[in-house]
A and B are shown apart, each in its own frame.
Chain A
Amino acid sequence: MIRVENLVKNYGDVKAVRSINFDVKDGEILGFLGANGAGKTTTLKVITGYLTATAGNVYVNDLNIAEHSLEIRRQIGYLAELNPLYLEMKVFDLLEFTAQIRQIEGKEFRNALTRVIDQCGLAGVLHRTVGECSKGYRQRIGLATAILHDPQILIMDEPVTGLDPNQIVEIRELIKELGREKMVIISSHILQEIEATVDRIIIIHQGEIIANGTSDELMSSFRGQTQLKLEIKGGSEASLSALKDAAPEATITNQAAIGEITKIDLEYAKDADPREAVFRHAVKSKWTVLEMATHRAQLEDIFRKLTVEGGPE
């Protein structure tokens, strides 16, 4: 279990993280979401012991990071952003080196090696130098070094950035598989990347947590998010303005006429569906309905709303 309390990290005058709090439970997959420079990486660097917090506490399995950094580093597997590796080393040597640092030797090492080669699909590149490997392979090598000691906590900073779609699917599957028994924290600035994988999402913006919950919780916490797109032909002025009274539960957000065709955007709350009323009004006014489609807010919209339009409402 990881507990972050009032964590603050400043780089000189720059306030990268401003007093954030959150918990991560064992066996949970947490998505850490935010625009570039929001403070995700900084938070993860503090949890992994690479940086020291300016203020606040981080507890990993009830050990305070300020006092037990070494012990915590033993328990965590970390895949850093941009995945820095020793490019001149052979893949096998790199894994052996990591194993030795983590005191995994002899039979234990051979078992661990077999496991990570299998999980990360490294059989073909084991005797190549890391620098010769493709980006996808390097990502898997980085992941292999992170899970070599079978950690209960795995932290990955933007693990799928820069990979091609097939590799993204592979890594995502791997993360899901690992997440069955481990606590996993993944950060990303692209929502679709992690939406399918994680149990819970924390959205961080300008160093502060602005949303924390499952994707369903995040969506339902937003009011008026369902949109109705209507495209009609032959609407008279009077019948168009009467729409408002015919469907009082919806608000018209946009209305544009191009020749005979009128496009209307409506918005309504989840539990007040105005589609029947709109349909009846259309029949009564003799409109020809070309299109009527709902557009449910995606997590993406929420993320944009939170991070671009200046925080929660």
Chain B
Amino acid sequence: MSNIKTLYVKELKSYFNSPMAYIFLVLFAIFNGYFFTNTFFLINQSDMRSLFGVVPLIFLFFIPAITMSLIAKENNTGTMEMISTLPIRDVDFVIGKYLAAVTLAGIGLAFTLVHFFTLVSVGTNIDYGAVLCGYLGLVLVAGFYSAIGIFSSSVTDNQVVAFIIAITIVLVFFLLDKLLVFMPAGLSGMIQFLSVDFHLSNISRGVVDSRNLIYFGSMIWLFLIVTVRILEMRKWR
């Protein structure tokens, strides 16, 4: 447990010791600000739907960018040898790094609270529950994409390759329910259940169903456990 914390702190520090975190946070804030305020006063509604709609799209590119270096860089620079001959369990290693990436995404999300305060100061009849659920959904999506990102980072030594693999997998889950019309009718229910959007839209509508939570939880668990297995397999090369 204490190793997870040590790795988590180290990884978070290394984000903020490099330009990475700042570039991510600034660009993330600019994109969200642009897309949100662009339509906010036109629609004239006291909600944050437009923000909750656009953040998953931006995460699509940003989360693979912040996770691509997590393991691929260690493999590439050889520090993997140093870290994996220290008494650290592979599970702790993966979870520590994963939580650092989720935290960075979470800090990005925290910046969007500016828009919430704007809403509070100009809006009326605000549905706080919906806002809360919306944020819960976004945190879960960030967690899911980060798990995909760390998995992609573990399968290669090359950060760019890790980035592309992560975007591809994320896109598949993102687009699944947009392609439903092309799917055989019998499968559509199952495919819809696998798509991120289906669960996210449920949550952001304010319906927090255990099915949705189980979906995100099990997907995150799946990608993390596969990452751990891949690290173990590397020893068998």
Contacts and interface: CB of A to CB of B under 8 A. Distances in A.
A84 interface: yes
A230 interface: no
B6 A84 contact: no
B236 to A, nearest CB: 5
Contacts of B2: 100, 103
B237 interface: yes
Given A49-B85, A80-B81, A88 B235 contact: no
A116 to B, nearest CB: 16
B3 A11 contact: no
Contacts of A50: 81, 84-85, 235
B177 to A, nearest CB: 41
A74 interface: yes
Contacts of B235: 49-52
Contacts of A51: 235-237
Contacts of A97: 6, 10
A50 B18 CA distance: 28
B14 A98 contact: no
Contact of B87 (A73, A85, A86, A88): A73
A304 B16 CA distance: 51
B74 to A, nearest CB: 9
A238 interface: no
Contact of A84 (B78, B86, B237): B78
A82 interface: yes
A128 to B, nearest CB: 14
Interface string B1-29: 01100110010011001100000000000
Nearest to B82: A84
Given A85-B79, A88-B17, A73 B6 contact: no
Interface residues on B, range: 20 to 34
Contacts of A100: 2, 6
B86 A101 contact: yes
B212 to A, nearest CB: 37
Interface string B35-78: 00000000000000000000000000000000000000000011
A76 to B, nearest CB: 7
Given A50-B235, A100-B2, A88 B85 contact: no
Interface residues of A, number: 29
B88 interface: yes
Given A51-B235, A86-B79, A97-B10, A70 B87 contact: yes
Interface string B84-96: 1111110000000
A85 B87 CA distance: 16
A101 to B, nearest CB: 5
A89 interface: yes
Contacts of A132: none
Interface string A48-88: 11111000000000000000001101101010101011111
A84 B73 CA distance: 12
A102 B86 contact: yes
Contacts of B6: 97, 100-101
Given A85-B79, A86-B14, A98 B86 contact: yes
B85 A89 contact: no
A172 to B, nearest CB: 23
A73 B85 CA distance: 6
Contacts of B81: 45, 50, 80, 84
Contact of B79 (A45, A84, A103): A84
Interface in A93-119: 93, 97-98, 100-103
Contacts of A49: 84-85, 235
A50 B236 CA distance: 9
Given A52-B235, A73-B86, A101-B88, 17 more contacts: A45-B81, A50-B81, A50-B235, A51-B235, A70-B89, A71-B87, A73-B87, A76-B85, A80-B85, A82-B78, A84-B80, A88-B14, A89-B10, A97-B10, A100-B6, A101-B7, A145-B82
Interface of A: 11, 45, 48-52, 70-71, 73-74, 76, 78, 80, 82, 84-89, 93, 97-98, 100-103, 145
16 contacts: A49-B84, A51-B235, A73-B85, A80-B78, A84-B79, A84-B80, A84-B82, A85-B82, A88-B17, A89-B14, A89-B17, A93-B10, A101-B3, A101-B88, A102-B86, A145-B82
